[in-house]
Amino acid sequence: MPLKFELGPGRMIGGSNPCFIIAEIGQNHQGDIEIAKKMIKMAKDCGADCAKFQKSELEYKFNKRALERPYNSKHSWGKTYGDHKRHLEFSHEQYRELQKYAKEVGIFFTASGMDELLEKLQLCFTSGRPMVISSGMQSMATMRRVYQTVKEHNQNFTILQCTSAYPLDPEDVNLCVIAEYQKEFPDIPIGYSGHERGISITVAAVAMGAKVVERHVTLDKSWKGNDHEASLEPSELTELVRAIRLVERAQGTGIKQMLPCEKACHDKLGKSVVAKVAIPKGTVLSLDMLGVKVGEPKGALLKTWVSWWAGRHRGRGGGGHTKIGWRHKKRAESPGGGPFAKNWKRIKPGILGDPGSIDPNPFALKWWGRRIVRV
């Protein structure tokens, strides 16, 4: 199983733990702290595990020329790009207020640090704190380097497949990278950060093994801002959480076996080897005499071994549709290379599959069940 670690107090991710669902508020709060609080509460009410924001130190992230350039987009909150970004930035004190509110509501709180310089990020690596690393706009070579750099200092991190386009077309999602990450980095949980419309692709990511998912959220897709169109409104986020939890219930153990819920159908429709024609007593059975049908009385599912019965068993008399069982075995011949050869002595004569024909020895019963599963 992939590595498990505690992403937040009392919340494990990876392995068989539930997928960790992040509601990315980002900067969809329009620069209004009261809207930000409403979105935190919305994320909690919809069933998300975490409310996430974005925090930038603008003078460190952009040079002076980038901040002073005119910004005439319909989504602009200022005449220059710097004015626009400053409108959407909360102060450190405001973030402390939001963090306190999230704790009161009962949802994890985080904000992504907008920095890509590995030398600076090493300060985060060495802190030992759990990390969520998204991989938008990166190559596999870069992500290998990120993995190796972080792994030297910190075991508690996850990498998310991400394509940075808003909104994201299905053809550019590249969900198969999740499987590639699982091969490349088998000792950490892998996740998905999506910017597509709707929820289907994110649900598919969970079915493929994503242990963390992140989706942008909004209170209204028609609001001004670059991210609203690629975000989920409350009803969509609620449905995403419901669908993910349903998929998790459906994933099962990976062990293929007949389940208790199948017993009724098995008892009604389970097939057995039967005679296709009337077979005189003492006749050596051949394939043209045998078929596979739903037969009475009910028996073991030995349709796979229909060819094995031919030439090894004698008819006991009876018309067509008679069920073929161990009572048709030649008395002087061992079962040879048949499916039960090694354990023949543990089976009593009788109708194959009849519980009364099984040696009551517990080992024999255990063996019988195992053989039926393998047929």
What are the counts of helices (DSSP H) followed by strands (DSSP E) for the chain?
A: 13, 11
Q: Could you give the CA distance from residue 104 to residue 108 in angstroms, rounded to a whole number?
A: 10
The pLDDT of 28-37, averaged and rounded, is 98
Between residues 280 and 364, which one has the greater pLDDT?
A: 280
Give me the pLDDT at residue 310, please: 62
User: How high is the pLDDT of residue 364?
Assistant: 36
CA distance 113 to 157: 15
Amino acid found at 284? V
Fold of 260-374: Type Iii Antifreeze Protein Isoform Hplc 12 (3.90.1210)
pLDDT tens-digit map of 131-149: 999 999 999 999 999 999 8
CA dihedral over 168, 171, 176, 180, signed as positive or negative = negative
Q: What is the pLDDT of residue 299?
A: 55
Tell me the three state secondary structure of residue 6. Answer: strand
pLDDT tens for 272-330 read 778 888 888 888 878 888 888 887 766 544 555 566 656 655 555 555 555 555 555 54
Where do the CATH 3.90.1210.10 domains begin and end in the chain?
A: 260-374
Q: Residue 336 in 3-state DSSP?
A: coil
Q: What is the mean pLDDT of the chain?
A: 83
Q: In the chain, pLDDT over 90 holds for what percent of residues?
A: 62
At 89-146, the pLDDT tens digits run 999 999 999 999 999 999 999 999 866 666 777 788 888 889 999 999 999 999 999 9
DSSP 132-193: EEE-TT--HHHHHHHHHHHHTT-S-EEEEEE---SSBPGGGT-THHHHHHHHH-TTS-EEEE
Task: Give the residue carrying structure tokens 């990020």.
Answer: 121
How wide is the angle at C-alpha 367 spanned by C-alphas 362 and 371, nearest 5°? Answer: 150
Residues carrying CATH 3.20.20.70, the chain: 5-251
* Class for the domain spanning 5-251: alpha beta
300 vs 210, higher pLDDT: 210
Residues 6+ apart with CB under 8 A from 203: 240, 243, 244, 247
CA distance 79 to 93: 26
What's the pLDDT band for 60 if we cut at 50, 70, 90?
Answer: confident
Residues 6+ apart with CB under 8 A from 34: none
Q: Are 50 and 19 in contact (CB under 8 A)?
A: no
Contact of 290 with 324, CB cutoff 8 Å: yes
Residue 115 confidence (pLDDT)? 63
Query: How large is the average pLDDT for residues 52-70?
Result: 93
Is the pLDDT at 243 greater than 60, yes or no?
yes
- pLDDT of 151 higher than 60: yes
